[in-house]
Amino acid sequence: MKDYYDILGVQRDASQEEIKKMFRQMALKHHPDRNAGDKASEDRFKEINEAYSCLSDPEKRAHYDRFGTADGFGSGQGPFSSGAGFGDIFEDIFGDLFGAGFSSQRRQRPTRGNDLRYDLDLTLEEAVFGTEKVITFPRLQKCDTCSGSGSEPGKQPEVCSSCRGSGQIRYQQGFFSVSKTCGKCSGSGKIITHPCKQCKGHGFIREQKSVNLKIPPGVDSGSRLKISGEGEPGHYNGPPGDLYVILNVEEHPFFKREGTELFCDFPVSFTAAALGAEIEVPTLDGSAKLKIPPGTSSGKIFTLKGKGVPRVGSSHRGNQLIRVYIDVPKKLTQRQKELLEEFASISTDETGKSFKDRLKDLFTGVEN
């Protein structure tokens, strides 16, 4: 993961002015025009540009500080992408030379709204069987009072007198002839003379948005659900962004999951393991019967087919694997002790030798 602060050589609490100052210095130093044919400087220049495009935007910077990435913030290039165009660099480096507000006309074009991210915790049961959730999150929305115009109802923005509604002003300096964004209307071509009281002229307000979310069976931690059009609204009639829900499945106190299989440890008594028994074991569907054959040893694994986890989009479920272990009693009655001692004294192998005799033979080197 790239450290944008380290790339620009600033502290994490650096001000926007400090970030811009360091960016200018480093961008001028590594600009391709000054380092023709130097691939290292060219790569460094791109890296500096990427870092600045994130840290110069307060919302991208806050998202980066929290998640370690600026992905999903309004680049207009699709989900989880970032990066500034060359026009942004040119503006930041040479903006003062040509006057404040230098920019290309692309800022007036329709731009896609920001993608949003929501982290959702699920229980293992919810992940296995699927569920429905209502999630609520803060989102910019078009102001209902002014319908996104920024002006009071009944009032219309005026055409900017400086740029005559074009949003651009031609600027001539020497042999340079460039267009710059109009500083009076910020490139919109219009001036809001009566700002909407609800949104203060911005056209958008931040509100809580609720969405019904259907989670399919079989999801796992890291699964990502995309809800199209539920991100923030676009600018200049651009399309809205998307909402990405990142799932995290909580650990279960009894079951462990590996892909489509569930694992668990289950105790059985010494007598059940020795004599065989039919026991009830827990599953996510409720209890199920499991036959323990006589002579079962500790660590034996049994399989319950179809009691595991389905693959997303499939009704077929994996298996549940049960590893049994002998539950040795910590307290015995006198009668239980007597019976076990008697059992030990008469226990022999196929040669007729008791455990004590076999142990003695082991240490004396006697062969069977």
As a whole number, mean pLDDT of residues 43-47 equals 87
CATH 1.10.287.110 fits 1-98, yes or no: yes
pLDDT tens-digit series, residues 49-86: 888 888 888 878 877 877 777 665 543 333 333 334 44
pLDDT tens-digit series, residues 26-42: 888 887 767 777 888 88
Judge whether residue 224 has pLDDT over 90.
Answer: yes
pLDDT tens-digit series, residues 157-185: 889 888 888 888 876 655 556 777 888 88
pLDDT tens-digit series, residues 308-354: 999 999 999 999 999 999 988 888 888 888 887 887 777 665 555 55
Tell me the average pLDDT of the chain.
82
As a whole number, mean pLDDT of residues 194-200 equals 90
- What confidence score (pLDDT) does residue 176 get? 53
The proportion of the chain whose per-residue pLDDT surpasses 70, expressed as a percent, equals 80
Judge whether residue 282 has pLDDT over 60.
Answer: yes
Q: Pick from 150, 199, 161: which is nearest to 183 by CA? A: 161
As a whole number, mean pLDDT of residues 185-195 equals 85
Q: For residue 70, report the phi and psi dihedrals to the nearest 5 degrees.
A: -105, 10
Where do the H-state alpha helices sit in the chain? Answer: 4-8, 16-30, 39-55, 58-67, 86-98, 124-129, 270-275, 334-346, 355-364
DSSP string for 41-81:
HHHHHHHHHHHHHHHTSHHHHHHHHHHS--TTSS-SSSTT-
DSSP 3-state assignment of 209?
Answer: strand
DSSP 3-state assignment of 348?
Answer: strand
- What confidence score (pLDDT) does residue 74 get? 43
Neighbours of 280 (CB within 10 A): 11
As a whole number, mean pLDDT of residues 286-299 equals 94
Judge whether residue 102 has pLDDT over 80.
Answer: no
Q: Where are the domains of the chain?
A: 1-98, 256-364
- What confidence score (pLDDT) does residue 352 get? 53
The CATH homologous superfamily to which domain 256-364 belongs is: Urease metallochaperone UreE, N-terminal domain (2.60.260.20)
- What confidence score (pLDDT) does residue 324 get? 95
Residue 363, amino acid: F
Greater confidence (87 vs 265) lies with 265
As a whole number, mean pLDDT of residues 261-280 equals 93
Greater confidence (268 vs 171) lies with 268
**CA-to-CA distance for 257 and 196, rounded, in angstroms?**
54
As a whole number, mean pLDDT of residues 276-301 equals 94
Question: Residue 358 — very low, low, confident or very high, per pLDDT cuts 50/70/90?
Answer: low
Judge whether residue 92 has pLDDT over 90.
Answer: no
